[in-house]
Structure 1
Amino acid sequence: MTQRHATAAETDADTPDETAAKQRDGLFIRIFFGDGRFLGPGKIELLEAIRSERSILSAARKMGMSYRRAWLLVDELDTMFAQAVVVTHPGRRGAGTDLTAFGERLIALYREVEARSTAASDEAIATLRAALAPEWPTVRPAPTENPPR
């Protein structure tokens, strides 16, 4: 089964070249809730990093993002859902943030959607992969102002 886990650095990359260098086979799953809210691989990876690091700062460093960016994403998740996804312990050294039971459930539900989507699309993705041209330039030429007619 082909599975796609994008990194937050990948989903927040500044340039197309940075993204292209980090891409892997598979799917990007982003769940849109219809009112402007969405849940995607970067937020889930951040929650997983917080779970393992027990710190927003350490999770941000692990993922190559700023603490501010990580904190804003956590705040967005905490306000997006009716239940908090993390709980912080101010002043406690070494383990300042934990996932709530809902935060753990959020990761599990997202990974379930991802796994089911991947399983349902494996055959079609394999067919598309088989149809790819054997050579693909890693750096694409910039578009010209006056394309040939």
Structure 2
Amino acid sequence: MKHQKVEDADETAARKPRDGLFIRVYFGDGRHIGPGMIDLLETIRTEKSILSAARKMGMSYRRAWLLVDEIAGNFREPVVLTHPGRRGHGTDLTPFGERLIALYRDIERRSAEANGPAVAELRAALAPLPAPTTTASDG
């Protein structure tokens, strides 16, 4: 199951309106790391639990586990440590898991800095949103 493709974590995050650049790093062999995966790792770090992280992010426990397994299968070093039987606080990030987050967030930050003027120009060129329509029952 190491390299099984799972519905993308980035798609869950994309359901909410977002603004700015979102970086997905492709490794040329079908593997990648993206903002949804990093968000999951950060939520696991905060919650100390894959189950709690999944709930907080609105995904199933199984899906979260499959994503963690996919992320872990992409790298030589472990990304999380699980502690079976430790209810509610059964998962920790490894030092490499922390480094993975830091590297990704650095790539994201540098990209946003380098591309800020171009993104601002694109944003300024956007057409205005249409006004919401009202019906007689709206008041």
Q: Same fold (TM over 0.5)?
A: yes
CA RMSD after TM alignment: 1.8
Percent same amino acid among aligned pairs?
A: 69
Q: Among 39, 47, 56, which residue is 2:41 paired with?
A: 47
TM-score norm. by structure 1 comes to: 0.78
**What is the rounded CA distance, in whole Å, between the counterparts of 1:136 and 1:60 in structure 2?**
35
Q: Which of 71, 79, 89 matches 1:95? A: 89
Q: 2:11 is matched with which residue?
A: 11
Partner of 1:57: 51
Q: CA deviation at 1:79?
A: 1.1
Aligned partner of 2:119 among 115, 122, 125: 125
Please list every run of at least 4 consecutive aligned residues from structure 1 whose deviation after the TM superposition is greater than 4 angstroms.
none
Unmatched 5+ stretches in structure 2: 1-8, 133-139
Give, in whole Å, the separation in 2 of the partners of 1:136 and 1:23.
Answer: 16
Tell me the amino acid that sits aligned with residue 111 of structure 2: S
Q: Which amino acid aligns with 1:61?
A: R
Asked if residue 106 in structure 1 is aligned to residue 87 in structure 2, the reply is no
| TM-score (normalizing by structure 2) | 0.83
| Per-residue Cα deviation, 1:60-82 (whole angstroms, up to 9, x for no partner) | 00000000000000011111100
Q: What letter matches 1:74 in structure 2?
A: V
Q: 1:136: how far off?
A: 4.7
SS for the counterpart of 1:92 is coil
Aligned residues: 124
- Where structure 1 has 5 or more consecutive residues not aligned to the other structure, the ranges are 1-7, 139-149
